[in-house]
A and B are shown apart, each in its own frame.
Chain A
Amino acid sequence: MGFFSLAFKNLLRHRIRSLLTVLAIAAGIFMLYSFLSFNKGYQAGLRRELGNMGAHMLAIAKGCPYEATAMIVHGGTITDYLTQEDLLRIREMPGVARAVGMFMNQKPLEHGKVTVIYGVDEEVFALKPWWVVRGDRRLAEDSVILPVDMAERLDVTLGDALTIPGIDREFRVVGLLERTGSQDDQFVYMSLSTAQQIFDAEDRLTSIAIQVEDLARIQDVVRQVESLPDVQAVTMTQVLGTVETLMTQAQAMVTTIVVVAIFISAIGVLNTILMSVFERTREIGMMKAVGCSAADIFALVWIESMLLSLAGGALGVAGAIGGGRLLEGAARALLPFVPAGSLIGADWRIAAVSIALSILLGIVAGAFPAYRASVLSPMEAIRSE
């Protein structure tokens, strides 16, 4: 029998109390791991999403930059439009390698869901060369390209007819877009003109995706685009910055909650171990009588504290990895934009940081009870009631 074995058995003496303390630590570490992992996944997902747009910048109608950002990365309805003429003028601007007009809008489904319609011309394939489309890439009138998952969900395949709720016409599925792992897997693609007709917006565009010839001179293109009346240019760096700014407040709030949760966990550990030391005063006196030194007692109580914290930390990390999807689901419901794909997953660096913090919590919270136990006079401890 060693110190660890003895400490472990001591904790088993009050199983429910120990378990509750472990759960309190687990809750704190669960939040910490989930927060760090979500944050990391969110940043990576956001960059991936923006990279998947294939454009260096977007031209959109002047308006609220936050609304525009949400529309750009998430898909949605926009009330101010650009025109086909804006597209032609941008294409002629020096420094512009490619400009693709897009029309995006949505039709409501049941339960608050929507079908996001994406009107594009064939230039979009040059913008997104990684797209793999089974079937026909050419979008004629009344034909659509569906993401493969959506086609499975709707139980349609190449050549099938498709009706979209809220649109009084029938479409033919001509192409299936293989999974991209991005927001692109959530849109219904049709020709630009068809989309414009459906929403009574002939000649109108919601955005123009622009690739520049030289990234070092992107600001020159921005200036030229913004010289057009009622047009603003948003670079991907700006989009990234805007979303991150939107996230900062939420992060600050979550950080505060995590810190408070961990602090409460530490108090819980301190309380549990201190109570256990008080209850075992006479026993500690006996241990000292049989030759145990103050350092031995300190180590024993400290190990008990660290075992509790370590168990809580491990449980919290396991819970966060296993139950991350639930939290992710809640975040998707609450936040204005969450990138596609899994955001909370197994990450050994974050796991190591979380476990290390839980051990540190045990070290700090256990130090005082361990000191109290170690300085007990054996004689007074044995005589205590």
Chain B
Amino acid sequence: MKPLILCEKMSKYYRRGSEVVRALHEVDLRVDEGEFLSVVGPSGSGKTTLLNLIGCLDTPSSGSYVFDGKQTAGLTDRALGHIRRQGIGFVFQQFFLLPTLTVRENVELPLMFGRERARSRVDEVLDMVGLGHRKRHLPRELSGGEMQRVAIARALVNNPRLLLADEPTGNLDSANADMVMALFKQLNAGGITLIMVTHNSELARQAGRTITIRDGKISEV
């Protein structure tokens, strides 16, 4: 299998005043296309930092990160933005839906920045997450589960090869969490590579592979 993600001795350090915080330390990770990986670990272990590096929201302090065969070290913000726009979808614990935009407009948002105008894709992904009938509604008219599904549709609208989800069920009840997980599995079965950070070990087990991060280091489960 071709690796979509390849991290070698990837580290990330932050400066907090005079103190240097080691968020990730010499992490090696390979994720192949079509995998469904869950990342677990205690708070502050470095899960979100790993997700941000993989999602090209940040760059490593040292080591290398290759996404889809492209070395990301040294890339400009603009180039990283291009990679995100073309190949990566994000789902956050908070849904970050714009309250004055309809469901359809929220999903359309990434297309606006990408200059693409594939409006039919918006309807397609809304149907995919089962919200085709809610496209004219405002976020305040939706349940938490529906809002997260809108956020997932937004993440999918650019046809990403990788979907990153940071605690996607953290704000949902168990019924809605199960619905989101079912959707993730369906997307993964359709070929999308999925990486999910979660505290919930039961949900993590539903992924094809689980890794644990502790003190900035990875251990496979």
Q: Are B96 and A286 in contact (CB under 8 A)?
A: yes
For residue A6, which residues in chain B have a CB less than 8 angstroms away from its CB? 98, 101, 109, 112
| One of B32-40, B51-59, B123-131, B206-214 at the interface | B51-59
Let me know if B155 and A290 touch, CB within 8 A.
Answer: yes
Q: Cβ of A286 and Cβ of B92 under 8 Å apart? A: yes
A290 x B101 contact (CB < 8 A)? no
- Cβ of B47 within 8 Å of any chain A Cβ, yes or no, is no
User: Which partner residue on chain B sits nearest A293 by CB separation?
Assistant: B81
Q: Is the CB of B100 within 8 A of A291?
A: no
Q: Is B69 an interface residue (CB 8 A)?
A: no
Most B CB within 10 A of own CB, among A3, A291, A294, A382: A291
Which chain B residues lie closer than 8 Å to A292 at the CB level? 81, 110, 113
Report A-chain residues with C-beta under 8 Å of the C-beta of B112.
Answer: 1-3, 6
Asked if B217 is an interface residue, CB under 8 A from chain A, the answer is no
Question: Which residues of the other chain, A, contact B146 by a CB distance below 8 angstroms?
Answer: none
Q: Is B45 an interface residue (CB 8 A)?
A: no
Size range of the chain B interface in the assembly? 20 to 34
Check if B85 sits within 8 Å of A291, measured CB to CB. Answer: yes
| B42 to A: closest C-beta gap in Å | 17
Interface residues of A in 1-42 (CB under 8 A from B): 1-3, 6, 9-10, 12-13
Query: Taking each of A10, A290, A377, which has the highest tally of chain B beta carbons within 10 Å of its own beta carbon?
Result: A290
The minimal Cβ–Cβ distance linking B124 to chain A, given in whole angstroms, is 17
Q: Secondary structure at chain B's binding surface: helix, strand, loop or mixed? A: helix
User: Which B75-106 residues sit within 8 Å CB-CB of chain A?
Assistant: 77-78, 81-82, 84-86, 89-90, 92, 94, 96, 98-101, 105
A10 to B82, CA, bound (A): 25
Contact assessment for A291 and B113 in the assembled complex, using a CB-CB cutoff below 8 Å = yes
The answer for the CA separation of A1 and B84 in the assembled complex, in Å, is 21
Q: How large is the interface on A (under 10, 10 to 19, 20 to 34, 35 or more residues)?
A: 20 to 34
Given A287-B109, A293-B113, A282 and B94 touching (CB < 8 A)? yes
The residues in A between 274 and 310 inclusive whose CB is less than 8 angstroms from any CB of B are 282-283, 286-294, 296
- A282: B residues at CB distance < 8 A: 94, 96
Q: Are B101 and A287 in contact (CB under 8 A)?
A: no
A379 touches B58 (CB 8 A): yes
Closest to B105 in A: A1
Answer yes or no: A378 CB below 8 A from chain B CBs.
Answer: yes
Please tell me if B44 contacts chain A, counting CB pairs below 8 Å: no
B109 x A13 contact (CB < 8 A): no
- Given A291-B84, A379-B57, A379-B58, decide whether A1 and B101 contact each other with a Cβ distance below 8 A: yes
* Contact yes or no, B100 A12, CB < 8 A: yes
Q: Which of B48, B96, B105 has the most CB of A within 10 A?
A: B96
Closest to B158 in A: A291
> Measured between C-beta atoms, what is the minimum distance from A309 to chain B in Å?
20
CA–CA, A329 and B84, complex, Å: 62
Min CB distance B44 to A, Å, is: 12
A10 to B112, CA, bound (A): 15
Residue of chain A at shortest CB distance from B119: A1
Q: Which residue of A lies closest to B55 (CB)?
A: A289
The reply to whether B85 and A290 contact each other, CB–CB distance below 8 Å, is: yes
Chain B residue, CB-CB nearest to A288: B81
Q: Which of B85, B98, B113 has the most CB of A within 10 A?
A: B113
Measured CA separation A3–B48 after assembly (Å): 30
Residues of A contacting B48 in the complex (Cβ-Cβ under 8 angstroms): 383
Q: Which residues of B contact A3 (CB under 8 A)?
A: 112
- Cβ-defined contact, A290 with B100, below 8 A: no
Residue on B nearest A297 in the bound complex, by CB: B113
Q: Is the CB of B96 within 8 A of A291?
A: no
Interface residues of chain B, those whose CB is within 8 Å of chain A, are 48, 52, 55, 57-58, 77-78, 81-82, 84-86, 89-90, 92, 94, 96, 98-101, 105, 108-110, 112-114, 154-155, 158
Residues of A in contact with B (beta carbons under 8 Å apart): 1-3, 6, 9-10, 12-13, 282-283, 286-294, 296, 377-379, 382-383
Q: Can you sample 7 A-B contacts with CB below 8 Å?
A: A1-B112, A9-B98, A9-B100, A13-B100, A282-B94, A290-B113, A296-B113
